[in-house]
Amino acid sequence: MSKSSDSISKWVIRRLPRYYRFLMELEKAGIAKISSAELAKKMGFTASQIRQDLNCFGGFGQQGYGYNVTALRAEIQEILGLNTRQNAILIGAGNLGKAVATHIEFEKRGLSLCAVFDNNPALIGNQIGQLTVRDISSLEEVCSSEKPSVAVLCIPKEAARNLADRLIALGIKGFWNFSHYDLLHHSDHIVVENVHLSDSLMTLNYLVKNTQEK
């Protein structure tokens, strides 16, 4: 039914969480059905794009009717892999790491945060939510028992560069990278999602400063 994930453009995949978000809202509001035209208007897309996107995964609509909100939400939830959990570890228990660990609802996103590490003795032992910050030296031990597939990097550039290979050797398949370093996609099997907050802020700064005169 669903085509190989490689044939689906990354643009489509990046839109899936957005569809999911809007469908959750519609469902919460008690809306039972929606047409691609209505959804397009709400989301600022075209109806065409929505139908194209969804048809990458299957025909979820019904001609003459539209889409059942709950059914479509459930489909996308399944496609996004939110019904199963894979373990994740977080490295770097500073301000940002702490905020990510407590603010992000990993369980709702298909993951389980199972350990937090740091190399700073002042932070090791601290409690972050349910977890205790561990010494980075226990990384191997924890990975061999918990088998995490995702690593969240909230550490400085240099640390990220140095740690990447070690983490891959321990079985990490995906990086959620908040560091300033552009983690390269080492191999086809390693996935990297860069969150460059500073880049994002510089883009905003540029746009605000260059949008006034028009």
Partner DNA sequence: TAGATTGTTAATCGATTAACAATC
Rounded to whole angstroms, the Cα distance separating 166 from 3 reads: 33
Number of residues this chain uses to bind its own copies (CB under 8 A):
66
In whole angstroms, the minimum distance from the beta carbon of 51 to its own copies comes to: 20
Tell which one of 11, 189, 207, 214 touches DNA (CB under 7 A). Answer: 11
* Residue 113 φ/ψ, nearest 5 degrees: -80, 115
For the stretch 13-22, contacts whose Cβ atoms lie closer than 8 Å and that sit 24 or more positions apart, written own/partner, are: 15/45, 15/53, 16/53, 16/76, 16/79, 16/80, 17/80, 18/43, 19/43, 19/50, 19/53, 19/54, 19/72, 19/76, 20/73, 20/76, 20/77, 20/80, 20/82
User: Residue 208 in contact with residue 191, Cβ under 8 Å?
Assistant: no
Residue 195 in contact with its own copies, rule: CB under 8 A: yes
Among DNA, its own copies, none, residue 98 binds (CB under 5-8 Å by kind): its own copies
For residue 51, how many C-alpha atoms fall within 13 Å in the half-sphere facing its CB?
12
Give yes or no for residue 37 binding DNA (CB under 7 A).
yes
Q: At closest approach, how far in Å is the CB of 79 from its own copies? A: 7
- For the chain, state the CA radius of gyration: 20
- Of residues 61 and 148, the one with the C-beta less far from DNA: 61
Q: What, of DNA, its own copies, none, does residue 52 touch, CB below 5 to 8 Å by kind?
A: DNA
Minimum CB separation from its own copies for residue 202, in Å?
4
Site for DNA in 42-81 (CB under 7 A): 45-49, 51-52, 54-55, 59-67
- Alpha carbon 59 to its chain centroid, in Å, reads 25
Examine residue 2 and tell whether it contacts DNA (CB under 7 A): no
Q: Which residues contact 105 (CB under 8 A, 6 or more apart)?
A: none
Residue whose entry in the numeric block shows the structure tokens 């995702």:
150
Q: How far is the CB of 24 from DNA (least distance, A)?
A: 18
Decide if residue 104 touches its own copies (CB under 8 A).
yes
Q: How far apart are CA 151 and CA 91, in angstroms?
A: 7
Please tell me whether residue 137 binds DNA under the rule CB under 7 A: no
Please report, as ranges, the residues that interact with its own copies according to CB under 8 A. Answer: 4-6, 13-14, 16-18, 20-22, 43-44, 79-82, 84, 86, 94-96, 98-100, 102-106, 108-111, 149-150, 173-176, 180, 182, 184, 188-189, 191, 193, 195-212, 214
